[in-house]
Amino acid sequence: MTDLFATRDRRAGRATRGNVNVRSGVRSAGAALGAVLAGLLVAAGPALAEDPVLSLHHSDGDVIELSMSDLTRLGLHRMDTANEFVGDDKVTFEGVLGRDVLALFEAAPDATYRFVASNDYAVEIPAGDFDTWDVLLAMSQDGTPFSARDKGPLWVVYPQSDHPELQDVLYNSRMIWQLVRIEAQ
């Protein structure tokens, strides 16, 4: 993957990311970010009209805003698991792998991220969790998209049924729902 934060045009005071210019530190993922992430060659175009659901705050002040369409372009994955919030029976979650979203930060493997919910509740999660397990930023449960009132837009879900070591209060506390922001520390 190319270094998404590699080029700075000091004269113009903006970062460039492939063919995407970043002005005033905020950009919408739109079609161009999807192209970078999915490896497609697409010309930079206007941002999607779809509202962003997740913002990624890089430590240098840059912000990436992602819509559900942007996240979907990262590739959807399914996970059948149970946890203390859904009960003993496995349910099917669908969403994007957390490691695919965190790759946008290109941070060190020992980095820690702050995950923030719509009510400003926050938890810190080490990058290693996403490298070790297929942690999802789930968008739906049993085919039903999460609403803002019910864990949406995104819920961090660990594959607890497949990994007994994850059936612990530590990992339960990291399963933040109503996720709207991730901050690099």
- DSSP secondary-structure letter at 167? -
Counting the structural domains of the chain, the total is 2
Secondary structure percentages of the chain, helix, strand, coil, to 5: 20, 35, 45
Domain identity same for 150 and 177 = yes
Structural domain boundaries enclosing 149: 75-184
Please, what is the average pLDDT of the chain?
Answer: 80
What sign does the dihedral 166-167-172-175 (CA atoms) show?
Answer: positive
d(CA 48, CA 50): 5
Residues 165 and 101 in one domain: yes
| Domain annotation covers residue 139 | yes
- Residue 21 resides in a domain: yes
Q: What is the pLDDT of residues 132-154, one digit of tens each?
A: 999 999 999 999 999 998 899 99
Residues 27 and 95 in one domain: no
Task: Tell me the pLDDT tens digit for each residue of 53-103.
Answer: 999 999 889 999 999 999 999 999 999 999 999 988 999 999 999 999 999
Task: Answer yes or no: do 80 and 67 share one domain.
Answer: no
Residue type, 89: D
**Could you tell me if 93 and 43 lie in one domain?**
no
178 and 119 in contact (C-beta within 8 Å)?
Answer: yes
Are 115 and 42 in the same domain? Answer: no
Does pTM top 0.95 for this prediction? no
